């Protein structure tokens, strides 16, 4: 595995997972500190099916996504009626419970030693394609009636319900989409590294995804993608100051969030019309705009 190939894969997987967090937090206004657990479910289910049953790459990845959706539904149905802060705590508890289960199930998952022998199938071009597809999917959802319901839910849940938005159902849908994307990233991850262990999927990874979202702009898909690309690559390029790279990384994130509370991009989105709008603005400033 070359350095740049690995960096491309891990950055692309982060984009996929963070797109799920964007749906849940950026559009529906819900916070989860257990999304990495669904990445673990996708990775372990896909890996176990490939190792123990000889299942092919595509069926195993799909099974990992389905398992993540099932786990998400198991969590969502009882806790989605909780207040948002209690929902965040419940997802944190679920994430830690999944890690404990993986650690204790030595005969199935390998316990703390991890799961070895997953076939290496995932290629950088696959991850790039999957990341582009996930961005397209979330962009389409944001512009749909479903996305508008999520935005209303995020702004004022009581008002949204009074206007006929099925708030409980919409929250469950946002959570399941987020879980599915996390499981998809996890399955691809397992088929790239050939090894997974519970320590890879702690709450710190879920927190990192939320930081990426806020760093780029909680309302901007463009900002979220740019933030994922930057913050995934930044620690690697700070290796020349090995003992200082974590403090530098944290300092850059904290400074940006404080100086730009709405994130780097705020609400701005890149579109096909953006270059034309920029050119039109330049002409207007130069007094060349047509009357």
pLDDT, tens digit (0-9, with 9 covering 90-100), for 70-123: 999 998 888 887 777 788 888 888 888 999 999 998 888 888 888 988 999 999
Q: How far apart are CA 231 and CA 212, in angstroms?
A: 7
pLDDT per residue as tens digits for the range 118-165: 999 999 999 999 999 999 999 999 999 998 999 888 888 888 888 888
At residue 13, φ and ψ (nearest 5 deg) are: -65, -35
Token pair, residue 271, equals 């579109």
Q: How far apart are CA 117 and CA 109, in angstroms?
A: 12
Token pair, residue 52, equals 């123990």
Residue 50 is predicted with a pLDDT of 94
User: Considering the chain, what percentage of its residues have pLDDT values greater than 90?
Assistant: 41
Consecutive H or E run containing 132? helix 124-143
Residue scoring higher pLDDT (287 or 53): 53
With vertex at residue 94, the alpha carbon angle to CA 90 and CA 98, rounded to the nearest 5 degrees, is 175
């Amino acid at each position: 595995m070359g350095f740049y190939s690995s960096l491309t894969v891990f950055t692309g997987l982060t984009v996929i997972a963070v797109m799920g967090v964007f749906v849940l937090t950026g559009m529906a206004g819900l916070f989860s500190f257990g999304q990495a657990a669904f990445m673990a479910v996708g990775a372990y289910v896909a890996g176990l099916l490939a190792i123990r049953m000889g299942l092919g790459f595509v069926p195993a990845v799909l099974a990992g996504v389905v398992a993540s959706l099932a786990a998400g539904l198991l969590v969502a149905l009882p806790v989605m009626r909780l207040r948002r802060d209690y929902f965040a705590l419940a997802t944190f508890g679920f994430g830690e419970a999944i890690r404990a289960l993986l650690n204790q199930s030595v005969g199935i998952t390998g316990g703390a030693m991890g799961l070895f022998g997953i076939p290496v199938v995932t290629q950088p071009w696959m991850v790039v394609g999957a990341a582009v597809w996930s961005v397209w999917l979330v962009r389409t959802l944001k512009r749909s009636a479903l996305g508008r319901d999520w935005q209303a839910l995020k702004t004022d849940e009581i008002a949204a319900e009074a206007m006929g938005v099925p708030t409980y159902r919409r929250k469950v849908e946002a959570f399941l989409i987020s879980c599915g994307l996390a499981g998809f990233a996890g399955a691809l991850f397992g088929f790239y590294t050939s090894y997974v262990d519970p320590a890879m999927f702690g709450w710190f990874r879920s927190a990192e995804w939320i930081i990426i979202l806020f760093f780029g702009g909680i309302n901007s898909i463009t900002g979220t993608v740019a933030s994922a690309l930057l913050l995934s690559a930044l620690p690697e390029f700070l290796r020349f100051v090995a003992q200082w790279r974590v403090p530098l990384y944290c300092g850059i994130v904290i400074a940006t969030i404080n100086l730009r509370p709405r994130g780097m991009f705020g609400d701005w989105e890149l579109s096909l019309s953006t270059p034309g709008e920029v050119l039109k603005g330049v002409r207007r400033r130069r007094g060349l705009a047509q009357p």
